[in-house]
């Protein structure tokens, strides 16, 4: 018997706020966090804008040891994990440590910190390099740091499946709890890519917007004028536990995770399959596992990267999966607010979807002023929708052709 699985805690550290309440308030303001980059000099690049977190101080959020021994990616993830546990009112000391696990996702992990240390090496030699470098750049540092901080000895892994990795981590955590392999999972994503070379690599392949003179409108998913994604940073961690356990302890239940689909285009490192075949299959797998018919979905929380090819392909895939219902189910994406934090984006957006399901307002796609007519989507109006969706489909797509889809249901049912 597969167990039902609930989201009971949300930890958010994003450019539009820290914690669910701050993030929700900023969504209601309909104001983007994208600005000209201040973290480094962006003038050598075609793109010079990003969404930075202005008020995150690791010394205030972590222990002195954690802040000293971790890079920014792990720091954001550690802070988000603690916020999630606080939000879930969960004391891990009451659980067997081997029945709790951590699954996280990040596209670049500690690569930005390595870039910073490489600069020190070039100018001052090996003696100037932080001796903790090796502990920050290995792929599993993110989930391992969270496990060490909380004494968690169960399932542990960090995947690196690009922009789908946060959603993939949540999907794997859902399956882990559903199969009875853990009682509680911390799952999500963290990303700290705002370093010159990390940022510049995406600018070099012309993947990012060059709307530098108007940063706040640069990320515009599904709009005819979109010209690329806008990079951001951030983290989100969700507390995921069996629905029965959550109810027995009187935990807040944001939503039930009911289905997960994961496929790969096996086509190109940066371009999606134009026919959307594997994205379609990921959505159908998630709906089938959730026993959810397309007409039951009341909001599609889109990947909506604001890139010309990806938005078109996602729209085409939605049209194929939802058929006649595609013109009726509201669709929107939230990257216009917080930009694209690569591996953390799917986790941030899943957390927002869970908030929408409890607070009863569906956000629009910020900056989608002139929707691309060829996509034939039912866009959420600019004022949003006063609606508490009972079923939500969440898409994430990444480099290498990774397609990840979650289906969330009303957890009170």
Query: Helix 111-124 and helix 72-88: axis angle, to 10°?
Result: 150
pLDDT in the model for residue 374: 75
Rounded-to-integer distance, Cα 85 and Cα 391, Å: 25
Instruction: Say if 5-248 and 259-409 have the same CATH topology.
Output: yes
Active site (annotated) includes residue 291: no
Rounded-to-integer distance, Cα 111 and Cα 344, Å: 15
Query: pTM of the prediction?
Result: 0.97
Distances (CA, A) of 160 to 104, 189, 220: 9, 10, 26
Active site (annotated) includes residue 340: yes
SS3 70: coil
Which one is catalytic: 303, 368, 379, 402? 303
Dig out the tokens for 375 from the structure: 């996509």
Which one is catalytic: 73, 144, 150, 163? 163
**Confidence check: pLDDT of 7 > 90:** yes
pLDDT band at 61 (very low <50, low <70, confident <90, very high): very high
* Record: fold of 259-409: Peroxisomal Thiolase; Chain A, domain 1 (3.40.47)
pLDDT band at 212 (very low <50, low <70, confident <90, very high): very high
SS3 204: helix
Rounded-to-integer distance, Cα 250 and Cα 62, Å: 28
Active site (annotated) includes residue 379: no
pLDDT band at 3 (very low <50, low <70, confident <90, very high): very high
Q: Spell out the domain ranges in the chain.
A: 5-248, 259-409
Residues 290-325 pLDDT 10s: 999 999 999 999 999 999 999 999 999 999 999 989
Residue at token pair 């892994």: 157
pLDDT band at 375 (very low <50, low <70, confident <90, very high): confident
pLDDT band at 411 (very low <50, low <70, confident <90, very high): confident
- The whole-number average pLDDT for the span 201-219 is 97
Find all residues with CB under 8 Å of 337, minimum gap 6, and list them.
15, 16, 26, 27, 31, 32, 33, 363, 366
Q: Which CATH class is domain 5-248?
A: alpha beta
Cβ atoms 19, 12 nearer than 8 A: yes
- The whole-number average pLDDT for the span 222-250 is 97
pLDDT in the model for residue 376: 86
Read off φ and ψ for residue 395, nearest 5 degrees.
Answer: -105, 145
pLDDT in the model for residue 373: 72
Rounded-to-integer distance, Cα 157 and Cα 392, Å: 26
Find all residues with CB under 8 Å of 132, minimum gap 6, and list them.
69
Find all residues with CB under 8 Å of 397, minimum gap 6, and list them.
163, 164, 272, 279, 303, 305, 310, 313, 314, 403, 404
| Nearest residue to 82 via CA among 120, 111, 56 | 56
pLDDT in the model for residue 322: 96
Which one is catalytic: 150, 340, 379, 402? 340
């Amino acid at each position: 018997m597969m167990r039902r699985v609930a989201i009971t805690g949300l930890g958010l550290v994003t450019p539009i706020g820290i914690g669910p309440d701050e993030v929700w308030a900023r969504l209601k303001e309909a104001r983007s966090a994208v600005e000209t980059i201040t973290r480094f000099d962006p003038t050598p690049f075609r793109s010079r804008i990003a969404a930075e977190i202005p008020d995150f101080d690791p010394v205030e959020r972590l222990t002195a040891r954690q802040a000293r021994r971790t890079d920014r990616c792990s720091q954001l993830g550690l802070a988000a994990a603690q916020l999630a546990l606080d939000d879930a009112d969960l004391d891990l000391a009451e659980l067997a440590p081997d029945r709790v696990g951590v699954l996280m996702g990040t596209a670049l992990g500690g690569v930005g910190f390595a870039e910073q240390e490489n600069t020190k090496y070039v100018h001052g030699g090996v003696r100037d390099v932080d001796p903790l470098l090796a502990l920050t750049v290995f792929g599993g540092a993110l989930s391992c740091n969270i496990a060490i901080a909380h004494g968690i000895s169960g399932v542990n892994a960090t995947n690196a499946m690009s922009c789908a990795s946060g959603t993939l981590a949540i999907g794997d955590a859902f399956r882990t709890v559903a199969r009875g392999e853990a009682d509680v999972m911390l799952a999500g994503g963290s990303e700290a890519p705002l370093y010159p070379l990390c940022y510049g690599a995406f600018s070099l392949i012309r993947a990012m917007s060059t709307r530098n003179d108007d940063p706040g409108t640069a990320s515009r998913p599904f709009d005819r004028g979109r010209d690329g994604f806008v990079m951001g940073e951030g983290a989100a961690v969700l507390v995921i536990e069996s629905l029965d356990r959550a109810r027995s302890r009187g935990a807040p239940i944001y939503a039930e995770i009911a289905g997960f689909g994961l496929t790969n285009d096996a086509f190109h490192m940066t371009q999606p399959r134009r026919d959307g075949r594997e994205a379609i299959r990921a959505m159908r797998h998630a709906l089938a596992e959730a026993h959810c018919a397309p007409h039951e979905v009341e909001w599609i929380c889109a990947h909506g990267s604001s890139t010309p090819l990806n938005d078109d392909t996602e729209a085409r895939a939605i049209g194929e999966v939802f058929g006649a219902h595609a013109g009726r189910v509201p669709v929107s994406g939230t990257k216009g607010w917080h930009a694209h934090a690569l591996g953390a984006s799917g986790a941030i957006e899943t957390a927002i979807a869970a908030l929408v399901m409890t607070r009863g307002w569906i956000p629009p796609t910020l900056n989608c002023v002139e929707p691309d007519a060829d996509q034939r989507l039912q866009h959420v109006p600019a004022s949003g929708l006063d609606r508490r969706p009972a079923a939500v489909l969440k898409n994430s797509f990444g480099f290498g052709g990774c397609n990840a889809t979650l289906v969330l249901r009303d957890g009170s049912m």
